[in-house]
A and B are shown apart, each in its own frame.
Chain A
């Protein structure tokens, strides 16, 4: 094994002597002998770092990363966005990487202030007053938002737009088994949530008044829905409105808060995190200040120290599991702090003009790419609603087949849509374009796409 433990043989002997023991085995006297492992775990013996690195390199070599190998047109909540050297360098500073939850604020002002800045930036993007210090991922943020809303309204019914990311909906259903919440999914029609299907007389089963209405902006198909309808539905039923937003698209789009969202959730990966095969990402959670005492997880607040200097500290701690135990607002403890710090750095790098520019370039690329792909014989728009930087197509063949064919040509063509969106034919393809896609890449993609359909 590696040289990570400092003990010399003589030190071990001296320490055992100090304890009045003659062997290391005696340290484990409390473990019943019959339970102790006689033959080891069966793992291989430790290997030097270079050997292990060689093995990991071998594994990595059988992956096909985006970049030179695969030009990325896949999104679905994970985007190939520009991450500059400065974000990676600052976010990998070991003071941020190797510390833990700021339980001792006097020696944790670095992480605390970075989180305070993160909370401010996320709240500004979301258009509501307050954001927390992060949750695991977009799905976790959605689950916590519905828990908050149902606790606030004392109801148990969720009206969930199928425009919300299918994985997030699946996670919400999983956790509803524990909370007993009832999740009713509302279908999309022509790319927008068909809310009228849940009003009296509509086709979706009723179950009383909803405590929460959830809608995505843009939605999973990349479409921009009129959130006024969802807001009006909430006003009529007394439900809270949860909007799942994209932090980069928010650079151009009307903010969820401006549309009247009570809680805003999102996936923060586009704010400086690598694709990383899906994690670690960043759950964004923001809400109206009226709900701050029901918020899940850590919240950093500004205060002063005994000398009157500005200082930061985790606050409203009485909401949390280590204080409130079974009555806590959430069970979350370890969150995604390093990702929140990364996002704060990335938002600092982007700034006011940069986030708008990234959003604009993505929208331009997507509209350019969509128009060209719709000119390919046999390709049709899946839905008609306006889009931002991601869009859905109906193909003349199964999407999985096309994705494999285009992977052979060096493109990650998109994501195959499940039968929620396309019935059993599985011919729906979700394509994302980011600010990193050049006209040459898009043109070449369209060319290969055309050939792959022949």
Chain B
């Protein structure tokens, strides 16, 4: 069979020259720091313009009793619109992003964010709806939320959902409170939650806030849960287990069926941390693995996007026996109409609801973006996402296996965890230095020093949206970095990287020691 497409060979050393994901060409005009908004401020300057209202101009004294009035308006900043635009545009030039280049930050799923979702989020028919508008004025929103709930249930193999949690950690805590309410309803409150030693930090932090004690179970030599170790901590005090599958090493928990059986046998529940759901979309569902509660990170898996650190969305889906505990109010389709026409929606609160977990209905515009992403991809497209994410990660794992150590040298899922232990021993160059050198090469760094179970960890998640050329360029950059570390001068240079970024390595100790959290705290 002949294919018109030109074959690209990973061995091609010049491939990085045409990689779209490398940002080393990003223009920067200088190395001065950007003044703060406060330093740009000039008394008397302004940007604001407000509507002409013709409302009678009652004097302030008639409106507010003196005891409630400020002495002077709060000093914000006084800038022109032009200065405001210049300032924040220059700040944006000091910021790496997915749109600029590859961002293989392990565990964070920094995939390309389709622009169509931005358009959806700015539609007046969605963006300008008041959250307290009566149901008669928000039927479209309620239909959208129900459609998303149903899609997330289909993807995870669950029976009911809440869209209220605003991020993954909020979803975790919601899930743990569901677990607590369920055990209490069985008349058997419990005290402990089991998590593996490779878990994200949010898991144990959420366990504490859920009123439980964390029991850590160690991983075996294959990087998975040690089944015997797990069995030894399971008893009727255990409310459940929180698992990420594939786990934070990018490895599928092969014993998941036995794990589920063991936990269920003592009356515990299984909680699925959806951080790594991207790996298994359309391939296998948490519900089929035996999980009872699932949270999803829509900003990761469904590209809603990450917003510099949020907003996210952390919906929770649950199996049938937990649905009556879900947070409320939930949107519900009370009349399906005919072919969707004439459908009617109402708010309802589940019978044994744990209560609200958000001021309103969740990060609604994020939810609308996620539904759009899901509909564009569909059943086939979501599976393709998982396939290509896993393909990319494995290709990179193998390609880099001679460059770094591979503590778990077998096929991975959507991300791979490598280690710079040998490099450090040989040259003194650490995972942190590799990360900083990669910034200089025009890539965002992988996650480093996580999971905690791997020394000098480099956790790389290329995602499905990076091309083979970008992967090769990234791998070539890693090769160059390691090769340069071969000489004492090169190794010394690596510890001084990056040199070409807006700032170089920052003094984190000083930031914590002499804390300056606001402009007014500066000396």
Contacts and interface: CB of A to CB of B under 8 A. Distances in A.
A59 interface: yes
A281 interface: yes
A381 interface: no
B512 interface: yes
A107 B26 CA distance: 12
A337 B309 contact: yes
B112 interface: yes
A127 to B, nearest CB: 8
A120 interface: yes
Residue of B98, B124, B129, B172 with most chain A CB atoms under a 10 A cut-off: B129
A208 interface: no
B7 A14 contact: yes
A330 B58 CA distance: 45
Interface in A35-88: 35-37, 40-49, 52-53, 55-67, 70, 72, 74, 76-78, 80, 82, 84, 86, 88
B388 interface: yes
Residue of B87, B97, B120, B439 with most chain A CB atoms under a 10 A cut-off: B97
Given A177-B354, A252-B60, A351-B78, A438 B5 contact: no
B8 A10 contact: yes
A424 interface: no
A278 B359 contact: yes
B75 A439 contact: no
Contacts of B128: 65-67, 274-276
Contacts of B49: 84
A55 B378 CA distance: 14
Contact of B55 (A24, A40, A361): A361
Interface stretch (A96-104, A184-192, A198-206, A445-453): A96-104
Interface string A102-135: 1111111111011011011101110001110110
Interface stretch (B138-146, B264-272, B416-424, B483-491): B138-146
Given A7-B391, A140-B170, A37 B76 contact: no
B54 A30 contact: no
Contacts of A236: none
B99 A300 contact: no
Given A98-B113, A252-B69, A254-B68, A77 B359 contact: yes
B88 A114 contact: yes
Given A32-B254, A41-B282, A86-B81, A6 B467 contact: yes
Contacts of A386: 64-65, 68
A354 interface: yes
A178 to B, nearest CB: 4
Nearest to A356: B73
B22 interface: no
A281 to B, nearest CB: 7
A316 B154 contact: no
Contacts of B5: 8-11
B134 A404 contact: yes
B132 A439 contact: no
A365 B50 CA distance: 14
Contacts of A6: 20, 465-468
B208 A327 contact: yes
A63 B126 contact: yes
A63 B125 contact: yes
A292 B521 CA distance: 13
B53 A18 contact: no
A442 B307 contact: no
A14 B94 contact: no
A358 interface: yes
A58 B375 CA distance: 14
A177 B177 contact: yes
A33 B5 CA distance: 33
Contact of B127 (A1, A65, A70, A140): A65
Interface residues of A, number: 212
Contact of A321 (B180, B205, B306): B205
A380 to B, nearest CB: 21
B127 to A, nearest CB: 4
Residue of B207, B305, B363, B517 with most chain A CB atoms under a 10 A cut-off: B517
Contacts of B355: 170-171, 173-174, 177
A298 to B, nearest CB: 7
Interface stretch (B29-37, B225-233, B316-324): B29-37
A37 B65 contact: no
A334 B310 contact: yes
B402 interface: no
Nearest to A307: B504
Given A60-B126, A311-B506, A325-B205, A139 B358 contact: yes
Contacts of B502: 106-107, 109
Given A4-B112, A137-B358, A320-B201, A110 B95 contact: yes
B125 A61 contact: yes
Residue of A60, A72, A306 with most chain B CB atoms under a 10 A cut-off: A60
Contacts of A333: 167-169, 200-202
A305 B154 contact: no
Contacts of A16: 391
A196 interface: no
B364 A352 contact: no
A421 to B, nearest CB: 15
B123 to A, nearest CB: 5
A165 B132 CA distance: 13
A192 B415 CA distance: 55
Contacts of A95: 92-93, 95-97, 99-100
Contact of A388 (B6, B64, B511): B64
A106 B433 CA distance: 13
A58 B519 CA distance: 47
A350 B48 contact: yes
Residue of B47, B48, B88 with most chain A CB atoms under a 10 A cut-off: B88
Residue of A43, A108, A347 with most chain B CB atoms under a 10 A cut-off: A43
B114 interface: yes
A338 to B, nearest CB: 3
A309 interface: yes
B77 A2 contact: no
Contact of A168 (B58, B359, B371, B435): B359
Contacts of A165: 359
B240 interface: no
Contact of B136 (A107, A312, A407): A407
A98 B88 contact: no
The 4 closest A-B pairs by CB, nearest first: A278-B360, A1-B381, A60-B125, A110-B95
Given A36-B284, A303-B510, A363-B60, 8 more contacts: A4-B465, A14-B468, A31-B280, A41-B382, A95-B97, A107-B96, A111-B308, A178-B173
